[in-house]
Structure 1
Amino acid sequence: MRIALIQMPVLPDKVKNIQTACGKIREAAKNGADFAVLPEMFCCPYDNSCFGAYGEPEGGEAQTALSHLAAELGLYLVGGTVPELSEGRIYNTSYVYGPDGRQLAKHRKAHLFDIDVQGGQRFRESDTLSPGNAITTFETAFGTMGLCVCFDLRFEELARCMCLRGAKVIFVPAAFNMTTGPAHWELLFRQRAVDNQCFTVGVSPARDEQGSYVAYGNSIAVDPWGAVLCRAGAEETTLYADLDVERLEAVRAQLPILSARRTDLYEVREK
Protein backbone atom coordinates (compact mmCIF):
# COMPACT_ATOMS: atom_id res chain seq x y z
CA MET A 1 0.00 0.00 0.00
CA ARG A 2 1.95 3.01 -1.30
CA ILE A 3 0.99 6.48 -0.08
CA ALA A 4 2.06 9.71 -1.81
CA LEU A 5 2.28 12.64 0.63
CA ILE A 6 2.02 15.74 -1.56
CA GLN A 7 3.52 18.75 0.22
CA MET A 8 2.74 21.47 -2.29
CA PRO A 9 2.92 25.27 -2.26
CA VAL A 10 -0.39 27.11 -1.98
CA LEU A 11 -0.69 30.36 -3.93
CA PRO A 12 -3.41 33.05 -3.95
CA ASP A 13 -4.70 31.54 -7.22
CA LYS A 14 -7.25 28.73 -6.95
CA VAL A 15 -6.96 27.59 -10.56
CA LYS A 16 -3.17 27.41 -10.33
CA ASN A 17 -3.35 25.47 -7.07
CA ILE A 18 -5.72 22.91 -8.59
CA GLN A 19 -3.44 22.55 -11.61
CA THR A 20 -0.41 22.05 -9.35
CA ALA A 21 -2.23 19.44 -7.27
CA CYS A 22 -3.37 17.52 -10.35
CA GLY A 23 0.13 17.53 -11.82
CA LYS A 24 1.59 16.14 -8.62
CA ILE A 25 -1.13 13.49 -8.36
CA ARG A 26 -0.31 12.35 -11.91
CA GLU A 27 3.34 12.08 -10.92
CA ALA A 28 2.38 10.07 -7.84
CA ALA A 29 0.39 7.63 -9.98
CA LYS A 30 3.40 7.13 -12.26
CA ASN A 31 5.41 6.28 -9.14
CA GLY A 32 3.01 3.54 -8.13
CA ALA A 33 0.94 5.32 -5.48
CA ASP A 34 -2.25 3.58 -4.34
CA PHE A 35 -3.25 6.69 -2.36
CA ALA A 36 -2.40 10.34 -2.99
CA VAL A 37 -2.92 12.80 -0.14
CA LEU A 38 -3.13 16.60 -0.43
CA PRO A 39 -2.70 19.17 2.36
CA GLU A 40 -5.27 21.17 4.27
CA MET A 41 -6.68 24.07 2.22
CA PHE A 42 -4.65 23.00 -0.82
CA CYS A 43 -6.51 25.40 -3.12
CA CYS A 44 -6.79 28.37 -0.76
CA PRO A 45 -4.47 30.52 1.37
CA TYR A 46 -4.98 29.57 5.02
CA ASP A 47 -6.55 32.86 6.03
CA ASN A 48 -10.03 33.67 7.34
CA SER A 49 -10.33 36.42 4.74
CA CYS A 50 -9.93 33.88 1.92
CA PHE A 51 -12.21 31.01 2.95
CA GLY A 52 -15.45 32.52 1.64
CA ALA A 53 -13.94 33.88 -1.58
CA TYR A 54 -12.21 30.59 -2.45
CA GLY A 55 -15.03 28.38 -1.23
CA GLU A 56 -17.27 26.15 -3.32
CA PRO A 57 -20.49 24.18 -2.85
CA GLU A 58 -20.81 20.42 -3.07
CA GLY A 59 -19.57 19.30 -6.50
CA GLY A 60 -17.49 22.44 -7.01
CA GLU A 61 -14.49 23.04 -9.23
CA ALA A 62 -11.78 21.53 -7.02
CA GLN A 63 -13.88 18.54 -6.03
CA THR A 64 -14.85 17.76 -9.63
CA ALA A 65 -11.23 17.94 -10.80
CA LEU A 66 -10.11 15.51 -8.09
CA SER A 67 -12.97 13.09 -8.68
CA HIS A 68 -12.26 12.91 -12.41
CA LEU A 69 -8.53 12.50 -11.83
CA ALA A 70 -8.99 9.67 -9.31
CA ALA A 71 -11.07 7.81 -11.90
CA GLU A 72 -8.64 8.52 -14.72
CA LEU A 73 -5.63 7.31 -12.73
CA GLY A 74 -7.38 4.53 -10.78
CA LEU A 75 -6.14 5.53 -7.32
CA TYR A 76 -7.54 6.61 -3.98
CA LEU A 77 -7.38 10.34 -3.46
CA VAL A 78 -7.58 12.10 -0.09
CA GLY A 79 -8.25 15.56 -1.42
CA GLY A 80 -6.75 17.70 1.34
CA THR A 81 -9.42 20.18 2.34
CA VAL A 82 -11.38 22.93 0.62
CA PRO A 83 -13.66 25.62 2.04
CA GLU A 84 -17.10 24.07 1.54
CA LEU A 85 -20.05 26.45 1.18
CA SER A 86 -23.32 25.05 2.47
CA GLU A 87 -26.54 26.76 3.59
CA GLY A 88 -24.83 30.03 4.46
CA ARG A 89 -21.96 28.35 6.34
CA ILE A 90 -18.35 27.56 5.51
CA TYR A 91 -16.77 24.26 6.50
CA ASN A 92 -13.16 23.07 6.31
CA THR A 93 -13.92 19.87 4.42
CA SER A 94 -11.92 16.89 3.20
CA TYR A 95 -13.28 14.75 0.35
CA VAL A 96 -12.04 11.25 -0.48
CA TYR A 97 -12.45 9.64 -3.89
CA GLY A 98 -12.06 6.02 -4.91
CA PRO A 99 -10.36 4.60 -8.02
CA ASP A 100 -13.67 4.90 -9.89
CA GLY A 101 -13.98 8.59 -9.00
CA ARG A 102 -16.83 7.99 -6.57
CA GLN A 103 -16.87 10.02 -3.35
CA LEU A 104 -16.08 7.61 -0.51
CA ALA A 105 -16.02 10.04 2.40
CA LYS A 106 -16.47 13.62 3.44
CA HIS A 107 -15.15 14.99 6.72
CA ARG A 108 -15.89 18.48 7.98
CA LYS A 109 -13.26 19.54 10.49
CA ALA A 110 -14.91 18.95 13.86
CA HIS A 111 -12.59 20.86 16.19
CA LEU A 112 -11.98 24.43 15.06
CA PHE A 113 -8.52 25.90 15.50
CA ASP A 114 -9.03 28.74 17.99
CA ILE A 115 -5.73 29.34 19.73
CA ASP A 116 -3.91 32.21 21.38
CA VAL A 117 -0.43 31.11 22.45
CA GLN A 118 1.38 33.74 24.53
CA GLY A 119 4.34 34.94 22.51
CA GLY A 120 3.30 32.75 19.56
CA GLN A 121 0.43 32.10 17.19
CA ARG A 122 -3.09 33.52 17.43
CA PHE A 123 -5.78 32.28 15.06
CA ARG A 124 -9.56 31.79 15.30
CA GLU A 125 -11.13 29.56 12.67
CA SER A 126 -14.51 30.00 14.34
CA ASP A 127 -14.56 33.63 13.19
CA THR A 128 -15.38 32.25 9.74
CA LEU A 129 -15.77 28.46 9.78
CA SER A 130 -18.41 26.16 11.26
CA PRO A 131 -17.58 22.77 12.84
CA GLY A 132 -18.56 19.39 11.46
CA ASN A 133 -20.24 16.76 13.61
CA ALA A 134 -19.04 13.38 12.35
CA ILE A 135 -16.51 10.67 13.00
CA THR A 136 -15.30 9.64 9.55
CA THR A 137 -14.10 6.29 8.29
CA PHE A 138 -14.27 4.78 4.81
CA GLU A 139 -13.77 1.40 3.17
CA THR A 140 -11.08 0.55 0.61
CA ALA A 141 -9.56 -2.53 -0.97
CA PHE A 142 -6.89 -2.28 1.74
CA GLY A 143 -9.37 -2.16 4.61
CA THR A 144 -10.99 0.55 6.71
CA MET A 145 -9.36 3.99 6.80
CA GLY A 146 -9.88 6.99 9.10
CA LEU A 147 -9.97 10.67 8.22
CA CYS A 148 -9.71 13.86 10.27
CA VAL A 149 -8.35 17.38 9.75
CA CYS A 150 -5.42 19.07 11.52
CA PHE A 151 -6.60 20.19 15.00
CA ASP A 152 -8.88 17.13 15.17
CA LEU A 153 -5.77 14.99 15.73
CA ARG A 154 -5.23 16.55 19.16
CA PHE A 155 -8.36 14.79 20.44
CA GLU A 156 -7.53 11.18 21.25
CA GLU A 157 -11.19 10.24 21.63
CA LEU A 158 -11.79 10.95 17.93
CA ALA A 159 -8.79 8.86 16.90
CA ARG A 160 -9.88 6.02 19.19
CA CYS A 161 -13.38 6.00 17.71
CA MET A 162 -11.90 5.67 14.21
CA CYS A 163 -9.66 2.87 15.47
CA LEU A 164 -12.56 1.02 17.08
CA ARG A 165 -14.37 1.17 13.75
CA GLY A 166 -11.39 -0.69 12.28
CA ALA A 167 -9.24 2.11 10.85
CA LYS A 168 -5.80 0.85 9.84
CA VAL A 169 -4.57 4.28 8.72
CA ILE A 170 -5.63 7.72 9.92
CA PHE A 171 -5.18 10.33 7.18
CA VAL A 172 -4.76 13.93 8.36
CA PRO A 173 -4.63 16.87 5.93
CA ALA A 174 -3.13 19.54 8.19
CA ALA A 175 -1.40 22.91 8.42
CA PHE A 176 0.33 23.26 11.77
CA ASN A 177 2.14 26.57 12.19
CA MET A 178 5.59 27.63 13.34
CA THR A 179 4.49 27.74 17.00
CA THR A 180 2.65 24.44 17.29
CA GLY A 181 4.55 22.51 14.63
CA PRO A 182 8.01 22.33 16.22
CA ALA A 183 6.44 21.58 19.60
CA HIS A 184 3.79 19.00 18.80
CA TRP A 185 3.63 17.85 15.14
CA GLU A 186 5.79 14.71 15.25
CA LEU A 187 4.82 14.02 18.86
CA LEU A 188 1.11 13.88 18.02
CA PHE A 189 1.45 11.71 14.94
CA ARG A 190 3.67 9.24 16.78
CA GLN A 191 1.47 9.21 19.88
CA ARG A 192 -1.77 8.64 17.98
CA ALA A 193 -0.10 5.81 16.06
CA VAL A 194 1.11 4.20 19.30
CA ASP A 195 -2.16 4.78 21.20
CA ASN A 196 -4.25 3.19 18.49
CA GLN A 197 -1.69 0.81 16.98
CA CYS A 198 -2.34 2.10 13.49
CA PHE A 199 -0.56 4.12 10.81
CA THR A 200 -0.87 7.90 10.79
CA VAL A 201 -0.27 10.09 7.74
CA GLY A 202 -0.11 13.88 7.96
CA VAL A 203 0.21 16.13 4.91
CA SER A 204 0.93 19.86 5.14
CA PRO A 205 1.37 22.63 2.60
CA ALA A 206 4.97 23.58 1.87
CA ARG A 207 6.19 26.47 3.99
CA ASP A 208 5.82 30.00 2.62
CA GLU A 209 7.69 32.42 4.86
CA GLN A 210 5.92 35.35 3.17
CA GLY A 211 2.41 34.02 3.72
CA SER A 212 -0.04 35.49 6.23
CA TYR A 213 -0.08 32.02 7.85
CA VAL A 214 3.22 30.16 7.77
CA ALA A 215 2.72 26.38 7.67
CA TYR A 216 5.26 24.14 9.37
CA GLY A 217 5.45 21.59 6.55
CA ASN A 218 7.13 18.37 7.73
CA SER A 219 4.57 16.00 6.19
CA ILE A 220 4.94 12.67 7.96
CA ALA A 221 4.00 8.98 8.03
CA VAL A 222 4.30 6.87 11.18
CA ASP A 223 3.87 3.13 11.73
CA PRO A 224 1.95 1.39 14.57
CA TRP A 225 5.12 1.07 16.66
CA GLY A 226 5.66 4.83 16.51
CA ALA A 227 8.52 4.69 14.00
CA VAL A 228 8.69 7.58 11.53
CA LEU A 229 8.60 6.11 8.02
CA CYS A 230 9.20 9.40 6.24
CA ARG A 231 9.22 13.08 7.10
CA ALA A 232 9.67 16.15 4.92
CA GLY A 233 11.23 19.46 5.78
CA ALA A 234 9.75 22.81 4.81
CA GLU A 235 10.21 22.39 1.07
CA GLU A 236 7.87 21.54 -1.79
CA THR A 237 8.12 17.77 -2.18
CA THR A 238 6.27 14.48 -2.59
CA LEU A 239 7.17 11.71 -0.18
CA TYR A 240 6.29 8.03 -0.58
CA ALA A 241 5.48 5.71 2.31
CA ASP A 242 5.00 1.99 1.77
CA LEU A 243 2.65 0.75 4.50
CA ASP A 244 2.65 -2.94 5.41
CA VAL A 245 -0.82 -3.45 6.88
CA GLU A 246 0.25 -6.84 8.24
CA ARG A 247 2.61 -4.90 10.49
CA LEU A 248 -0.44 -3.51 12.26
CA GLU A 249 -1.72 -6.93 13.30
CA ALA A 250 1.76 -8.01 14.40
CA VAL A 251 2.13 -4.98 16.67
CA ARG A 252 -1.34 -5.49 18.15
CA ALA A 253 -0.51 -9.12 18.91
CA GLN A 254 2.81 -8.27 20.57
CA LEU A 255 1.53 -5.34 22.63
CA PRO A 256 -2.16 -5.90 23.50
CA ILE A 257 -3.25 -2.34 24.16
CA LEU A 258 -6.59 -2.53 22.39
CA SER A 259 -7.56 -5.99 23.57
CA ALA A 260 -6.51 -5.24 27.17
CA ARG A 261 -8.72 -2.16 27.55
CA ARG A 262 -10.79 -2.22 30.76
CA THR A 263 -14.18 -1.45 29.31
CA ASP A 264 -15.68 -2.41 32.65
CA LEU A 265 -14.01 0.73 34.03
CA TYR A 266 -14.09 3.10 31.06
CA GLU A 267 -15.36 3.25 27.51
CA VAL A 268 -15.16 5.60 24.54
CA ARG A 269 -18.52 5.73 22.81
CA GLU A 270 -19.59 7.16 19.49
CA LYS A 271 -22.65 9.39 19.48
Structure 2
Amino acid sequence: MEPVSKAMAQFRLALIQLRVSSVKSDNLNRAGEFIKEAASQGAKIIALPECFNSPYGTNYFPEYAETIPGESTKRLSDLAKEYQVYLVGGSIPEEDGGKFYNTCTVFGPDGTLLTKHRKLHLFDIDVPGRIRFQESETLSAGDSFSMFETPYCKVGVGICYDIRFAELAQVYSQRGCQLLVYPGAFNLTTGPAHWELLQRGRAVDNQLFVATASPARDVDAPYVAWGHKNALTKLSPFFCNGSFCRGEILPKLALKESIVYANIDLKKLVEVRQQIPVLTQKRGDLYAVEWKKP
Protein backbone atom coordinates (compact mmCIF):
# COMPACT_ATOMS: atom_id res chain seq x y z
CA MET A 1 0.00 0.00 0.00
CA GLU A 2 1.30 3.43 -0.92
CA PRO A 3 1.89 6.04 1.82
CA VAL A 4 -1.14 8.13 2.70
CA SER A 5 -0.76 11.88 2.16
CA LYS A 6 -1.32 13.97 5.26
CA ALA A 7 -4.01 16.05 3.57
CA MET A 8 -6.13 13.01 2.76
CA ALA A 9 -5.23 10.80 5.73
CA GLN A 10 -8.47 11.47 7.58
CA PHE A 11 -12.10 11.83 6.62
CA ARG A 12 -15.53 11.53 8.22
CA LEU A 13 -17.89 8.69 7.39
CA ALA A 14 -21.62 8.76 8.19
CA LEU A 15 -23.93 5.73 8.34
CA ILE A 16 -27.66 6.42 8.22
CA GLN A 17 -30.04 4.03 9.95
CA LEU A 18 -33.40 4.79 8.35
CA ARG A 19 -36.87 3.69 9.36
CA VAL A 20 -38.31 2.36 6.10
CA SER A 21 -42.04 2.66 5.45
CA SER A 22 -44.27 1.43 2.64
CA VAL A 23 -44.43 4.96 1.16
CA LYS A 24 -41.50 5.41 -1.21
CA SER A 25 -41.73 9.22 -1.32
CA ASP A 26 -41.53 9.40 2.49
CA ASN A 27 -38.46 7.17 2.50
CA LEU A 28 -36.75 9.34 -0.09
CA ASN A 29 -37.59 12.55 1.75
CA ARG A 30 -36.32 11.25 5.11
CA ALA A 31 -33.17 9.94 3.49
CA GLY A 32 -32.59 13.41 2.06
CA GLU A 33 -32.99 15.01 5.49
CA PHE A 34 -30.47 12.64 7.06
CA ILE A 35 -28.00 13.15 4.21
CA LYS A 36 -28.29 16.90 4.68
CA GLU A 37 -27.63 16.52 8.41
CA ALA A 38 -24.64 14.22 7.88
CA ALA A 39 -23.09 16.58 5.34
CA SER A 40 -23.55 19.51 7.72
CA GLN A 41 -21.52 17.55 10.29
CA GLY A 42 -18.61 17.17 7.91
CA ALA A 43 -19.23 13.69 6.52
CA LYS A 44 -17.48 13.12 3.19
CA ILE A 45 -18.75 9.57 2.56
CA ILE A 46 -22.37 8.80 3.53
CA ALA A 47 -24.11 5.42 3.36
CA LEU A 48 -27.79 4.45 3.43
CA PRO A 49 -29.17 1.01 4.38
CA GLU A 50 -30.25 -1.90 2.23
CA CYS A 51 -33.67 -1.41 0.58
CA PHE A 52 -33.89 2.13 1.93
CA ASN A 53 -36.74 3.11 -0.40
CA SER A 54 -39.03 0.10 0.02
CA PRO A 55 -40.05 -2.63 2.47
CA TYR A 56 -37.75 -5.65 2.39
CA GLY A 57 -39.50 -8.75 1.08
CA THR A 58 -39.72 -10.92 -2.01
CA ASN A 59 -43.29 -9.76 -2.67
CA TYR A 60 -42.22 -6.10 -2.49
CA PHE A 61 -39.25 -6.23 -4.87
CA PRO A 62 -41.26 -6.30 -8.13
CA GLU A 63 -43.76 -3.73 -6.81
CA TYR A 64 -41.13 -1.15 -5.87
CA ALA A 65 -38.55 -1.93 -8.55
CA GLU A 66 -37.19 0.89 -10.71
CA THR A 67 -34.93 1.11 -13.69
CA ILE A 68 -31.59 2.87 -13.21
CA PRO A 69 -31.63 5.78 -13.73
CA GLY A 70 -35.05 6.23 -12.13
CA GLU A 71 -36.86 8.15 -9.42
CA SER A 72 -34.75 7.03 -6.45
CA THR A 73 -31.36 7.14 -8.13
CA LYS A 74 -32.11 10.56 -9.63
CA ARG A 75 -32.79 11.80 -6.11
CA LEU A 76 -29.55 10.27 -4.82
CA SER A 77 -27.57 11.87 -7.63
CA ASP A 78 -29.07 15.27 -6.87
CA LEU A 79 -28.38 14.91 -3.13
CA ALA A 80 -24.74 13.89 -3.65
CA LYS A 81 -24.24 16.90 -5.92
CA GLU A 82 -26.10 19.35 -3.67
CA TYR A 83 -24.12 18.40 -0.56
CA GLN A 84 -20.82 17.58 -2.31
CA VAL A 85 -20.46 14.10 -0.84
CA TYR A 86 -19.76 10.53 -1.91
CA LEU A 87 -23.11 8.83 -1.43
CA VAL A 88 -23.44 5.05 -1.09
CA GLY A 89 -27.12 4.72 -1.86
CA GLY A 90 -27.91 1.67 0.28
CA SER A 91 -29.84 -0.50 -2.13
CA ILE A 92 -33.07 -0.47 -4.09
CA PRO A 93 -34.99 -3.10 -6.04
CA GLU A 94 -33.87 -2.68 -9.66
CA GLU A 95 -35.67 -3.86 -12.79
CA ASP A 96 -33.65 -4.49 -15.93
CA GLY A 97 -34.76 -6.51 -18.93
CA GLY A 98 -37.50 -8.28 -17.04
CA LYS A 99 -35.18 -9.33 -14.21
CA PHE A 100 -35.00 -7.90 -10.69
CA TYR A 101 -31.86 -7.14 -8.69
CA ASN A 102 -30.97 -5.85 -5.24
CA THR A 103 -28.76 -2.95 -6.31
CA CYS A 104 -26.56 -0.34 -4.65
CA THR A 105 -25.66 2.81 -6.58
CA VAL A 106 -22.82 5.14 -5.59
CA PHE A 107 -22.67 8.80 -6.62
CA GLY A 108 -19.82 11.30 -6.50
CA PRO A 109 -19.90 14.96 -5.41
CA ASP A 110 -20.72 16.01 -8.97
CA GLY A 111 -23.72 13.66 -9.09
CA THR A 112 -22.02 11.15 -11.39
CA LEU A 113 -22.81 7.45 -10.99
CA LEU A 114 -19.49 5.92 -9.88
CA THR A 115 -20.48 2.28 -9.61
CA LYS A 116 -23.52 0.01 -9.45
CA HIS A 117 -23.37 -3.12 -7.30
CA ARG A 118 -25.91 -5.87 -7.78
CA LYS A 119 -26.00 -8.18 -4.76
CA LEU A 120 -23.79 -11.13 -5.62
CA HIS A 121 -25.01 -13.66 -3.07
CA LEU A 122 -28.77 -14.02 -2.74
CA PHE A 123 -30.16 -14.46 0.76
CA ASP A 124 -31.67 -17.94 0.60
CA ILE A 125 -31.81 -19.42 4.09
CA ASP A 126 -34.05 -21.75 6.08
CA VAL A 127 -33.68 -21.87 9.86
CA PRO A 128 -36.46 -24.21 11.08
CA GLY A 129 -38.79 -22.50 13.51
CA ARG A 130 -37.01 -19.15 13.14
CA ILE A 131 -36.85 -17.74 9.62
CA ARG A 132 -37.12 -18.76 6.01
CA PHE A 133 -36.27 -16.25 3.28
CA GLN A 134 -35.58 -16.88 -0.39
CA GLU A 135 -34.45 -13.83 -2.36
CA SER A 136 -34.01 -16.02 -5.42
CA GLU A 137 -37.80 -16.37 -5.66
CA THR A 138 -37.82 -12.94 -7.32
CA LEU A 139 -34.23 -11.63 -7.57
CA SER A 140 -31.33 -12.44 -9.85
CA ALA A 141 -27.73 -12.26 -8.65
CA GLY A 142 -25.12 -9.79 -9.84
CA ASP A 143 -21.87 -10.97 -11.38
CA SER A 144 -19.26 -8.25 -10.90
CA PHE A 145 -17.14 -6.56 -8.26
CA SER A 146 -17.91 -2.93 -7.43
CA MET A 147 -15.30 -0.40 -6.33
CA PHE A 148 -14.92 3.36 -6.51
CA GLU A 149 -12.14 5.86 -5.93
CA THR A 150 -12.26 8.89 -3.63
CA PRO A 151 -9.54 11.40 -2.70
CA TYR A 152 -9.34 9.58 0.64
CA CYS A 153 -9.29 5.88 -0.24
CA LYS A 154 -10.58 3.19 -2.56
CA VAL A 155 -13.89 1.68 -1.47
CA GLY A 156 -15.39 -1.75 -2.13
CA VAL A 157 -19.14 -2.34 -1.99
CA GLY A 158 -21.19 -5.38 -0.94
CA ILE A 159 -24.79 -5.84 0.14
CA CYS A 160 -25.83 -7.65 3.33
CA TYR A 161 -25.38 -11.40 2.68
CA ASP A 162 -22.28 -10.59 0.61
CA ILE A 163 -20.45 -9.94 3.89
CA ARG A 164 -20.56 -13.65 4.76
CA PHE A 165 -18.29 -14.51 1.84
CA ALA A 166 -14.71 -13.82 2.87
CA GLU A 167 -13.38 -14.21 -0.66
CA LEU A 168 -15.17 -11.06 -1.81
CA ALA A 169 -13.51 -8.95 0.88
CA GLN A 170 -10.15 -10.55 0.04
CA VAL A 171 -10.49 -9.59 -3.60
CA TYR A 172 -11.35 -6.03 -2.65
CA SER A 173 -8.34 -5.88 -0.35
CA GLN A 174 -6.03 -7.28 -3.03
CA ARG A 175 -7.34 -4.65 -5.46
CA GLY A 176 -6.39 -1.83 -3.12
CA CYS A 177 -9.56 -1.09 -1.16
CA GLN A 178 -9.08 0.34 2.31
CA LEU A 179 -12.76 0.65 3.20
CA LEU A 180 -15.60 -1.80 2.61
CA VAL A 181 -19.22 -0.64 2.87
CA TYR A 182 -22.04 -3.14 3.26
CA PRO A 183 -25.61 -1.82 3.36
CA GLY A 184 -27.45 -4.64 5.09
CA ALA A 185 -30.65 -5.80 6.77
CA PHE A 186 -29.79 -8.69 9.06
CA ASN A 187 -32.80 -9.94 11.02
CA LEU A 188 -33.55 -10.82 14.65
CA THR A 189 -32.16 -14.34 14.16
CA THR A 190 -28.98 -13.70 12.20
CA GLY A 191 -28.32 -10.21 13.57
CA PRO A 192 -27.46 -10.96 17.21
CA ALA A 193 -25.52 -14.06 16.17
CA HIS A 194 -23.36 -12.78 13.34
CA TRP A 195 -23.81 -9.09 12.40
CA GLU A 196 -20.90 -7.63 14.34
CA LEU A 197 -18.85 -10.84 14.25
CA LEU A 198 -18.76 -10.85 10.45
CA GLN A 199 -17.76 -7.18 10.31
CA ARG A 200 -14.89 -7.79 12.71
CA GLY A 201 -13.80 -10.83 10.75
CA ARG A 202 -13.68 -9.01 7.42
CA ALA A 203 -11.82 -6.08 9.00
CA VAL A 204 -9.22 -8.13 10.87
CA ASP A 205 -8.53 -10.66 8.11
CA ASN A 206 -8.00 -7.99 5.48
CA GLN A 207 -6.67 -5.17 7.65
CA LEU A 208 -9.10 -2.57 6.37
CA PHE A 209 -12.07 -0.55 7.56
CA VAL A 210 -15.56 -2.05 7.45
CA ALA A 211 -18.80 -0.08 7.68
CA THR A 212 -22.39 -1.33 7.66
CA ALA A 213 -25.69 0.55 7.41
CA SER A 214 -28.95 -1.10 8.46
CA PRO A 215 -32.59 -0.06 8.42
CA ALA A 216 -33.92 0.92 11.83
CA ARG A 217 -35.84 -1.77 13.66
CA ASP A 218 -39.60 -1.71 13.05
CA VAL A 219 -41.40 -4.47 14.94
CA ASP A 220 -44.52 -3.92 12.85
CA ALA A 221 -42.74 -4.50 9.53
CA PRO A 222 -43.15 -7.82 7.69
CA TYR A 223 -39.36 -8.24 7.91
CA VAL A 224 -37.84 -6.94 11.15
CA ALA A 225 -34.27 -5.66 10.77
CA TRP A 226 -31.72 -6.09 13.55
CA GLY A 227 -30.44 -2.51 13.24
CA HIS A 228 -27.09 -1.80 14.89
CA LYS A 229 -25.25 -0.04 12.06
CA ASN A 230 -21.53 -0.09 12.73
CA ALA A 231 -18.26 1.47 11.76
CA LEU A 232 -15.30 -0.75 12.59
CA THR A 233 -12.64 1.90 12.75
CA LYS A 234 -10.09 -0.35 14.42
CA LEU A 235 -8.45 -3.23 12.67
CA SER A 236 -7.45 -5.96 15.06
CA PRO A 237 -8.74 -7.90 18.09
CA PHE A 238 -6.76 -5.77 20.50
CA PHE A 239 -8.52 -2.63 19.32
CA CYS A 240 -12.13 -1.88 20.20
CA ASN A 241 -15.10 -1.40 17.91
CA GLY A 242 -14.96 2.31 17.13
CA SER A 243 -18.70 2.83 16.94
CA PHE A 244 -19.29 1.44 20.42
CA CYS A 245 -16.30 3.12 22.08
CA ARG A 246 -17.13 6.69 21.06
CA GLY A 247 -19.31 7.50 24.05
CA GLU A 248 -21.07 4.10 23.88
CA ILE A 249 -24.04 3.78 21.58
CA LEU A 250 -27.03 3.20 23.83
CA PRO A 251 -29.27 0.21 23.01
CA LYS A 252 -32.21 2.42 22.00
CA LEU A 253 -30.03 4.40 19.58
CA ALA A 254 -28.76 1.16 18.12
CA LEU A 255 -32.31 0.35 17.00
CA LYS A 256 -33.90 3.68 16.08
CA GLU A 257 -33.40 6.11 13.22
CA SER A 258 -30.04 7.74 13.73
CA ILE A 259 -26.67 8.60 12.23
CA VAL A 260 -23.38 7.20 13.46
CA TYR A 261 -20.18 9.02 12.53
CA ALA A 262 -16.68 7.58 12.31
CA ASN A 263 -13.53 9.59 11.82
CA ILE A 264 -11.41 7.36 9.59
CA ASP A 265 -7.65 7.70 10.01
CA LEU A 266 -5.85 5.90 7.21
CA LYS A 267 -2.49 6.25 8.98
CA LYS A 268 -3.71 3.62 11.46
CA LEU A 269 -4.39 1.24 8.59
CA VAL A 270 -0.82 1.70 7.35
CA GLU A 271 0.54 1.14 10.87
CA VAL A 272 -1.39 -2.09 11.41
CA ARG A 273 -0.34 -3.49 8.04
CA GLN A 274 3.29 -2.71 8.86
CA GLN A 275 3.12 -4.18 12.36
CA ILE A 276 1.38 -7.42 11.37
CA PRO A 277 2.10 -7.86 7.64
CA VAL A 278 -0.34 -10.70 6.93
CA LEU A 279 -1.21 -9.34 3.50
CA THR A 280 2.37 -9.80 2.29
CA GLN A 281 2.89 -13.10 4.14
CA LYS A 282 0.01 -15.05 2.59
CA ARG A 283 1.00 -18.45 1.16
CA GLY A 284 -0.92 -18.39 -2.10
CA ASP A 285 1.34 -21.17 -3.34
CA LEU A 286 -0.27 -23.47 -0.76
CA TYR A 287 -3.93 -22.55 -0.57
CA ALA A 288 -4.86 -20.57 -3.67
CA VAL A 289 -6.68 -23.56 -5.12
CA GLU A 290 -9.85 -23.84 -7.11
CA TRP A 291 -12.94 -23.93 -4.93
CA LYS A 292 -15.51 -26.60 -5.66
CA LYS A 293 -19.11 -26.76 -4.49
CA PRO A 294 -19.72 -29.52 -1.91
TM-score category (smaller protein):
over 0.9
C-alpha distance in 1, partners of 2:281/2:27?
Answer: 46
* 2:153 match: 143
**1:47 shift after superposition:** 1.1
- Does residue 228 in structure 1 map to residue 241 in structure 2? yes
User: What pairs up with 1:8-47 in 2 under 5 angstroms?
Assistant: 8-47=18-57
AA paired with 1:265? L
- Does residue 174 in structure 1 map to residue 184 in structure 2? yes
Deviations 1:219-262 (A, max 9, x none): 00112225311155111111101110111111011111101001
The structure number with the bigger radius of gyration is: 2
* 1:205 match: 215
- 3-state SS, counterpart of residue 242 of structure 2: strand
Across the two proteins, how many residue pairs are aligned to each other?
A: 269
**1:40 shift after superposition:** 0.0
- 8 Å CA contact 2:153–2:179 kept in 1: the answer is no
**1:208 shift after superposition:** 0.3
**1:266 shift after superposition:** 2.5
- Does residue 99 in structure 1 map to residue 109 in structure 2? yes
- 3-state SS, counterpart of residue 122 of structure 1: strand
Structure 2 residue runs without a partner (length 5+): 1-10, 245-252
Deviations 1:30-67 (A, max 9, x none): 01100110000000000111111111001100100010
User: What pairs up with 1:32-111 in 2 under 5 angstroms?
Assistant: 32-111=42-121
- Does residue 240 in structure 1 map to residue 261 in structure 2? yes
- Does residue 250 in structure 1 map to residue 277 in structure 2? no
- 3-state SS, counterpart of residue 217 of structure 1: coil
Q: Percent identity?
A: 48
268 and 201 in structure 1: CA distance in 2 versus 1, 3 angstrom threshold: farther
- 3-state SS, counterpart of residue 95 of structure 1: strand
C-alpha distance in 2, partners of 1:267/1:160?
Answer: 12
Q: TM-score, normalised by structure 1?
A: 0.97
* 1:158 match: 168
- Does residue 191 in structure 1 map to residue 201 in structure 2? yes
AA paired with 2:215? P
* RMSD value, Cα: 1.1
Structure 1 residue runs without a partner (length 5+): none
**1:111 shift after superposition:** 0.2
**1:105 shift after superposition:** 0.9
- Does residue 259 in structure 1 map to residue 280 in structure 2? yes
C-alpha distance in 1, partners of 2:289/2:107?
Answer: 29
- 8 Å CA contact 1:157–1:268 kept in 2: the answer is no
Q: TM-score, normalised by structure 2?
A: 0.90
C-alpha distance in 2, partners of 1:247/1:62?
Answer: 36
C-alpha distance in 1, partners of 2:289/2:83?
Answer: 39
AA paired with 2:38? A
AA paired with 1:106? K
C-alpha distance in 1, partners of 2:218/2:243?
Answer: 21
C-alpha distance in 2, partners of 1:10/1:143?
Answer: 30
- 8 Å CA contact 1:114–1:126 kept in 2: the answer is yes
AA paired with 2:265? D
